[in-house]
Every structure is written in structure tokens, then in C-alpha cells.
Amino acid sequence: MLVLNFSYWLMKKLLVHILIAIMCYGYGHAEQTDSLKYKLQNTTSDTSRVNLFAKLGFEYAFIHLDSARQYCKLAIQLAEEIDHKRGKADALNNLAISYDIEGNHEVAVTYFLMALDLYQILRYKPGLARVYNNCGMVYQSLTDTAKSLAYHKKSLQIEKELGDSLGISYSMIQVAALQLQMQNYDQSLLHYTSALEMLNALNDEQGLAYTHWGLGELYMYTNQPQLAMKHAQKAFLFFESEENKKGMSETSIIIGKTHLLEQNLNPAEKYLLKALDLSQELGTQNVTLECLLNLTNLYKSLNKYEVALNYHEKYTALQLVIRKNEMTSNIKEIESKYDFERQQQEIQLLNKENLYQTVLRNIAISVLLVIAILLLLLYWAYLAKAKTMEALKDKNIEIERKNGIIENEKKNALAAAKAKADFLSVMSHEIRTPMNVVIGAIHLLLEDNPKPHQIDNLNMLKFSAENLLTLLNDILDLNKLESGKLKLESTPFDLNLLVKSMSEGFGKEAIKKGIELKLNISSDIPNQLIGDPGRLSQVLNNLLSNSIKFTDKGTVTLTIKSVKKSRKKIRLKFVIEDTGIGIAPDKQQIIFDNFIQADSDTTRKYSGTGLGLSIAKHILKLFESEIKLKSELGKGSRFSFRMNFRTDLIPENNYIS
């Protein structure tokens, strides 16, 4: 968490620093806008007017966003009229900055990439370095560390080609911070030490402070407390001399955590409390959260359990606040993104489509937006419930150790959890009904002979709505499982028919991916069994779907065999094996948790909700069974479970031929 805070804060500082240096602004924004407006009134050159409009857009981005965008759009319009590509690229870059400052990062990316295309056509290296840096910034805001690092490396390469020592050193700090975040410690150290050498030669105290701060982080995470302390204290002294409370709070955490690692509890307490006071004064919630967690651990080490419990409760409460704020921010970002896309689509439709087509697309976007917002609210409610249950477990431990001191809190937490569970159940049912109506309406539109260019839009809407309904059903099933409301059935069914039906569906999917789906069913298993075929199908569907999704070549095999058999009962073993990407040892437990996949790269490449394995695990628990997993990264995975079935009510064939 602290690494992310450091790199994100540092990059925001460096973005302003680099842009101001490149565009040669040295004055306050308000004074600068007055100066630029005066120049604008006294120029007759269209090229100068484009450049002044673009610069005004940059200055206003920090004081009035609407004015910033108005000036940038004026610059773009005039630049297109006179074919001034560099001026247009500058304006697009500054327009993107206004959206990034507002938090509309995806819209910002669109404009940054448009500026990048123009700079590449012009082969204008200072502009390329600037936009690569800005793209790295915005992808850091989107938590896409790999893309952020790639763009910052490109910026660093161009800075080297330009021979800009200050730009090189600051780009190295950015790359080092991202390498640290990705736990590439050797590469991080290499870039930090190179930056330190250059900044010492330049005598840039601010850059040196950032570098010492990053080295303090690095040495703390590589378990070198003495070096971590040395660099963090150097950074702290600079920030203290500059009255930089943000830097003081962040470096105080490093010093406090380092003391805590070495069991120097009194100085650890001093620095962590200092960091907490500063972060609360500044309102930096993520830093405050880090302080509360470390203070909880500190007071546990001091056996001050009541104080530790107090800080832990504050930590849990702040986590919920931050999560709620993130959800609110995400909803606003989605709204802004769809507003931006809608505006672009309307411009195209005015030239190409009639009014009916415009209305149809707007309805589709509005429906998706409403569904997305409702689903985000539902997701937040589920996370809030999960956080409450986790807090409840911690409180139970404290109850055992403190002889029932927090019994009332436990009851309140249980009541809250029940209320959230009821809310989740009601909301799931309430949303599922209109979702079915939406899907039905889409089917009617598809059957109503739509125009060819409308079919793609309707199919896209149908696909999205059905996926959302599937996710909604998964969340509802999970809620029933966790609350104990799901009951097993006991009905006769044909196992071979059940497996054949599944194999036909999954076989098509396997053929599309170029892999082979194999079935091995032992011949000594009766065709007719008594159990819950629906839940068995749900478990097998989730496991087979999972294996096919993560297998790009080779085979997926389902094996069913009997392991114990009597006259009235049979115990079967189900094994699903694949030759897919495999699962790292440290991820093999957490993938059965709710909304969890092995890592962020897997999530981006293969998508999915992360609920399938969790639901399968809960269903098998009802069957008094469990999933066993064997996996090797890069070679494949093997999931297995056992299940009992009855055979006593199945009539025997007593005919003689």
C-alpha cells in the first residue's frame, strides 16, 4: 500500500514539474492566465493564437476545468483550420490533463493517445517524452502498473536521446518506484542509485529527497532496516525543512515500520503517531489507514490489547469509508466515460444515421449505464457484508481473550450482517426481474427484423445483459449458500445423460479454442442415481468452464469412477484435469475465495467474476465433501472431489429374455 502511495504521489508531483519546465511557465496560475490573455488580445498570428489557447487550457486545468476545456477546444478547432499539427497536439495533451485531474482517466487516455499520434507524425521528441510520461501517469491512476512502466520507460529513453539530465533523473525515479511496486527490487535499486548519482551532480535537493524516500521503501521491503532508516531519515529532514507535511507523514511511516521490525517499540510508536497526526491533518486516508494498521500491530506487541483493538476498529471503519468513496468515484467515472462516448457517438450519428437510430443507441447506453450502476451498488453491499463478517471474526477472538467485553458489539455486527444479507437478497430479486424484462425486450427487437447495422448493437446489448444476469444469479446463489438457505434435493437422475448434455455444450467451446474435451466414465457406475443433479451439474459446469477458459492448447479431461460401493449407496470420485496455465502455489488457497482470481494479469486476459470456484466449494460443503487441487504453473491443474449417491430406490431389471 505504501509503495503505491509513494509512486502515485511522486508521479503527480513530477507531472506538474516536467510540464511546467517544458512549457517554460514560472509564475502562479492566476498571474500566468492574465499574462497569456494580454498576449492573446495583442496578437494577429493564428499560430500564436493556437499556442496561447493551448497554454491557457493548461493553466486553467489547475483552477477552472470548464474554462480549461473551452480554451483547449478553441485551440484544436483553430489548429485544424490552419493545419497546425503541433499546436493541436499540445492542446489535446492539455485537454487530457484536465480530465486526468478531474479523475476521468479513461477519457484522458483517449486524448493523450490522440496527441501521441500527432507527435509521432511530427517526430517531435520533447512532445513524445511529455505524452509518454503523462500516459504513464494516467495508467498508474488506473492501477495498470505494467502499462504505466512501459510508457515511463519510453519517456526515459527519449529523455536520454535529448540529453536532459534533470528529466532523465526524474524519469528514473518514476521507473524505480514502479519497479518497486512490481517487486522487481534489483531493477528498482539500479534506477534509484543512477538517479541519486545524477541528482547529486545537479545538487537537486527535492529530487534527492524523493530518491532517498524511495530507497527507504526499497530497503524496508528487502529487509535491510539500517539502510532503510538511513535513507528515510534523510528524506524526512528535507521534507521537515520544507514543511512538506505529506512527505513527512510518508517517511515517518517508513521510519516507524523499520523500528517496529527491529522491535524498537518506543521510537516506532513516536514516528507512527506523528505520521497518523499528519495524515489526518492532510486528509490522506490511505496513509492514515497504513498508520492505523501498524499501530494495531505495535500495541499488540506491547500487550496493550484494548488500545490495539481501538486502532483496529478505526482501521476497519476507515476501510469501509475508503471502499465507499472508491465505489462513488467509480460510478462517477463510469458516468463521465459514458457521457464522453455518447457525445462522440451523437456527432457521428448526426452525419450518418437518422433520428430513430440515435434514439436506439442512446437507450442501449442508458440501459447499460443503469445496470452497471445498480450492479456496482450491489457489489458494494456484498463487499460491505464481507468486511463486516471479517470484522466479526476478529471481535470473536477478542471476546475469548477479554471475557466477553465486546459482546454487545458482536450482536450489533450480527444484526448489521443480517440486514445486509437481507438487502442483498431483496436487491438481487428486484434487479433480476427487470433484467429478464430487458433480455425479453432485446429478443423481441431481434425478432422484429432490425436493420443489419442495428443487429450488432442489439447482440452486444443481449450479450452484456445475459452476462450481468449470470453474475447476478451467481451472487444470489452465493448469498443463499453463505446464509444456509440453499437445500439439497434427492431425486433420481441419469448420470450418463447429465454428463453427455454438459459435454455437448462444452465440446463446442473446446473446439473453438482448438483443445480436446475427454470423458472417462467407469463402466461399473449405474446409469440411475439418486441425489441432487442440479447442484452436481452446477459444480461440474463451474470446474469444466474454469479449465476450458484457462487452457489454450492440449486437453481437458473429466474422469468419473466409483471408489466405494454397496447395495444401497455408491461413492464416486470426480476428477477434472487440464493442460492449461496452472496456478502458482501461493495462489492455490485464495482462488476459492469470493471474487478472487490468481492475479491481475489473469483477470485482464481471461476476465470472469471469480465466483465459480467459491460457489463450487460451498455446494460441495453441503454434500459433506471438498475440492482438492493439484497444480503446477505452466503445466496444468487437477481438481477432484468425492460425492455419495443412493441407489436403493432404483428398480432392478428382473426380466429374463
| DSSP-assigned states of every residue in 113-131 | HHHHHHHHHHT-HHHHHHH
Q: How many CA atoms lie within 13 A of 472 on its CB side?
A: 25
Confidence (pLDDT) at 15: 42
Q: What is the pLDDT of residues 43-59, one digit of tens each?
A: 899 999 999 999 999 98
Q: CA separation (Å) from 467 to 342, 435, 492, 541?
A: 23, 11, 31, 16
Residue 391 CB burial class (10 angstroms; 0-12, 13-18, ≥19) = buried
Give the chain's mean pLDDT.
81
Distance between CA atoms of residues 363 and 359, nearest Å: 6
Cα 610 to its chain centre, rounded Å, is: 13
Query: Comparing 1-154 with 491-646, is the CATH topology the same?
Result: no
Confidence (pLDDT) at 115: 93
Asked if residues 558 and 544 have their Cβ atoms less than 8 Å apart, the reply is yes
Distance between CA atoms of residues 57 and 69, nearest Å: 6
Cα 220 to its chain centre, rounded Å, is: 26
A 10 A CB-CB count for 279 gives 26
> Which residue in 642, 629, 653, 628 sits closest to 565, CA to CA?
642
Distance between CA atoms of residues 261 and 518, nearest Å: 53
- Classified as helix, coil or strand, 423 is helix
Confidence (pLDDT) at 11: 47
CA angle at residue 517 from 513 to 519, to 5 degrees? 170
Cα 536 to its chain centre, rounded Å, is: 32
Distance between CA atoms of residues 482 and 504, nearest Å: 32
How many helices (H) and strands (E) the chain has is answered by 23, 7
For the chain, domain boundaries: 1-154, 322-483, 491-646
Asked if residues 160 and 175 have their Cβ atoms less than 8 Å apart, the reply is no
Q: CA separation (Å) from 413 to 289, 408, 640?
A: 21, 9, 36
- Classified as helix, coil or strand, 448 is coil
A 10 A CB-CB count for 502 gives 18
* Angle between helical axes of 29-41 and 46-60 (0-180°, round to 10): 160
Report, as ranges of residue numbers, the positions in the chain whose pLDDT lies below 70: 1-30, 326, 328-359, 403-406, 410, 413-429, 432, 459-460, 462-467, 469-471, 473-474, 476-485, 594-610, 649-657
> Which residue in 312, 327, 314 sits closest to 374, CA to CA?
327
620: part of which helix (H) or strand (E)?
helix 612-622
Confidence (pLDDT) at 7: 45
Q: CA separation (Å) from 575 to 540, 578, 597, 629, 639?
A: 10, 10, 21, 10, 6
491-646 maps to CATH 3.30.565.10: yes
Q: CA separation (Å) from 374 to 422, 431, 435, 470?
A: 16, 8, 11, 15
Asked if residues 469 and 436 have their Cβ atoms less than 8 Å apart, the reply is yes
Cα 352 to its chain centre, rounded Å, is: 37
Strand ranges in 183-302 using DSSP code E only, listed in sequence order? none
Q: What is the pLDDT of residues 196-221, one digit of tens each?
A: 899 989 988 888 888 998 998 899 88
> Which residue in 7, 376, 365 sits closest to 184, CA to CA?
7
Distance between CA atoms of residues 30 and 45, nearest Å: 24
Provide CB contacts within 8 A for 563, sequence distance 6+: 571, 572, 573, 642
Q: Encode burial over 340-379: b for 16+ CB neighbours within 10 A, e otherwise.
A: beeeebeeebeeebeeeeeebbeebbebbbebbebbeebb
Q: What is the pLDDT of residues 293-310, one digit of tens each?
A: 988 988 898 898 898 899
Asked if residues 278 and 263 have their Cβ atoms less than 8 Å apart, the reply is no
CA angle at residue 582 from 578 to 585, to 5 degrees? 135
Distance between CA atoms of residues 76 and 211, nearest Å: 38
pTM equals: 0.45
Confidence (pLDDT) at 5: 42
Residue/partner pairs of 21-24 with CB below 8 Å, 24 or more apart: 21/166, 21/167, 22/126, 22/130, 23/55, 23/58
Distance between CA atoms of residues 319 and 384, nearest Å: 10
Phi, psi of 405 (to 5 degrees): -60, -35
Percent of the chain at pLDDT above 70?
79
Fold type of domain 1-154: 1.25.40
Q: Is the dihedral of CA 111, 114, 118, 119 positive or negative?
A: positive
Confidence (pLDDT) at 190: 93
| Ramachandran quadrant class, 110 (left: phi over 0; alpha: psi -120 to 50; beta: rest) | alpha
How many Å is the maximal CA-CA distance in the chain? 110
Confidence (pLDDT) at 181: 87
Asked if residues 218 and 193 have their Cβ atoms less than 8 Å apart, the reply is no
